[in-house]
């Protein structure tokens, strides 16, 4: 991996391109950052298969709408605004719903990686469960919470996971820290927008 950066390099680089020159969130660059995290999720093995599948489906739904008219949907929130106007934003198959759950899943991953970065002595199970309690848990029903708890128990141990990512090196730790710092405000902006259209409190 020498010279090719870490598994976070592409996602970290991508966070610099999510905003337009006028500070608006761009659809494709935002989705690209989320896509760059999918290979990282693969490293968790079976534990994160449902999370990865959920994230992948939400990215695909947003991507497909964007691809239907890239100039109309160049800005991320235009995908939601068109549904708000058509009064179908609350549909479970809407792009609004996809953006909401994609953002929440990204909140969870940022929190998980922040826990690993800030607490070198924490086992993986603690990093996962603390992140879950702070992010997704309040939006999940009992069934979703139960399956998530099972998934956390299947997570690889910390050392094994970090070794798969290329070892707990200063470069990797630095990239994880920077990624959390750069991506977190973008996710907060999504929540702020979704809240402004009354869609940030939807539960599973």
Domain count, the chain: 1
**Residue 204 in domain:** no
What secondary structure does DSSP assign to the chain, as a single string?
Answer: -TTS--TTHHHHHHGGGSB-TTSPBBHHHHHHHHHHHHHHHHTTGGGGHHHHHHHHHHHHHHHHHHHH-TTTT-BTTHHHHHHHHHT-TTSTTSHHHHHHHHHHHHHHHHHHHHHHHH-TT--HHHHHHHHHHHTTGGG--HHHHHHHHHHHHTSPPHHHHHHHTT-S-HHHHHHHHHHHHHHHHHHHHHHHHHHHTT-TT---
Percent of the chain with pLDDT over 70: 98
Range(s) of the domain holding residue 36: 8-195
Residues of the chain with pLDDT under 50: 1-3
Output the pLDDT for position 44.
Answer: 86
**Residue 201 in domain:** no
Output the pLDDT for position 118.
Answer: 96
Output the pLDDT for position 2.
Answer: 39
The pTM of this model reads 0.94
CATH assignment of the domain containing 161: 1.10.3520.10
**Residue 158 in domain:** yes
**Residue 159 in domain:** yes
């Amino acid at each position: 991996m020498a010279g090719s950066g870490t598994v976070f390099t592409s996602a970290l680089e991508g966070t610099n391109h999510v905003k337009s020159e006028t500070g608006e969130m761009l659809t494709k660059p935002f989705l690209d950052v989320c896509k760059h995290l999918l290979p990282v999720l693969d490293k968790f093995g079976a534990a994160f298969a449902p999370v990865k599948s959920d994230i992948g489906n939400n990215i695909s739904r947003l991507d497909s709408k964007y691809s239907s008219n890239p100039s109309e949907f160049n800005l991320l929130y235009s995908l939601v605004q068109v549904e708000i106007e058509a009064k179908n934003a609350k549909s479970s198959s809407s792009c609004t719903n996809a953006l909401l759950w994609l953002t929440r899943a990204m909140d969870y991953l940022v929190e998980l990686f922040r826990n690993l970065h800030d607490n070198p002595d924490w086992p993986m199970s603690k990093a996962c469960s603390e992140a879950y309690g702070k992010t997704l848990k309040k939006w999940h029903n009992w069934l979703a919470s139960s399956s998530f708890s099972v998934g956390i128990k299947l997570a690889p141990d910390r050392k094994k996971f970090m070794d798969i990512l290329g070892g707990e090196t200063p470069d990797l730790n630095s990239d994880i820290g920077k990624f959390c710092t750069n991506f977190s405000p973008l996710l907060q902006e999504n929540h702020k927008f979704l809240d402004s259209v009354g869609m940030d409190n939807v539960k599973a």
